Amino acid sequence: MIYSEDNNFLFVSNAKAATHTMYAYLTEHYGGRWLTHANNYHPLPQAGDYPDAYRWSVVRDPFSRAVSAYFGSVVRTEHSEHWRRVIGSPTFVSYCRWLASGAWEKQTAQAVRPQFDRLRSSNLDVVIRFEYLADDFAMLPFVDIPIPELPALHVGDYGEWSDWYESDGEAADHIRTWAKDDFAEYGYSLEVSR
């Protein structure tokens, strides 16, 4: 989380939805300060924390977010072996099947939690979309126009995310199950699209 006393906002991070970009940008341009260490898996605000602050977060298309989480957890990190043991197979379809099974509830890694499951208790004033990050960010009440360009930090090198769903409809079906509330609450399409 990032809090800015000067601008009276609380950014509630949501793993795999521009968190590193927002951390860097908000501390550099808006007087934000870290409330927790990054290794604390994006803790949520507690009841009564910063009651007058404007609370917001970023959400991401669940199909895109699942690819980013898979690539960041299973494919190319020091934790790859752990995740491969957890999900039982290193394939993307196996990862999606594991997410849909609900087994993610036993994990502390926020990237495997559906976004609505994580954010619903945060009393957010607004969520902005990863896919329209600069435009949505510019509409926040504390933002000065024009805004300095948002950096693109920790961008995955997995190609076009929608390509991960082309060869097998099973993966998309599993993501629809896992993130059903995300699709409903944040207005994302149940169809895989670019």
Contact 45, 91 (CB under 8 A): no
Given this model, what pLDDT does residue 5 score? 94
Query: What is the value of pTM for the model shown?
Result: 0.88
Given this model, what pLDDT does residue 106 score? 78
Given this model, what pLDDT does residue 112 score? 87
Given this model, what pLDDT does residue 157 score? 65
CA distance 102 to 122: 22
Domain boundaries, the chain: 2-186
Given this model, what pLDDT does residue 96 score? 93
pLDDT tens digits in sequence order for the chain, 194 residues long: 899 999 999 999 998 999 888 988 899 999 999 886 544 455 677 767 888 999 999 999 999 999 999 988 888 766 778 888 888 888 899 999 999 999 888 777 788 889 998 899 888 999 999 999 999 999 999 998 777 677 665 566 667 888 888 776 899 999 999 999 999 999 999 999 86
Burial of 68 (0-12, 13-18, 19+ CB in 10 A): buried
Given this model, what pLDDT does residue 38 score? 46
Query: What SS3 state is found at 34?
Result: strand
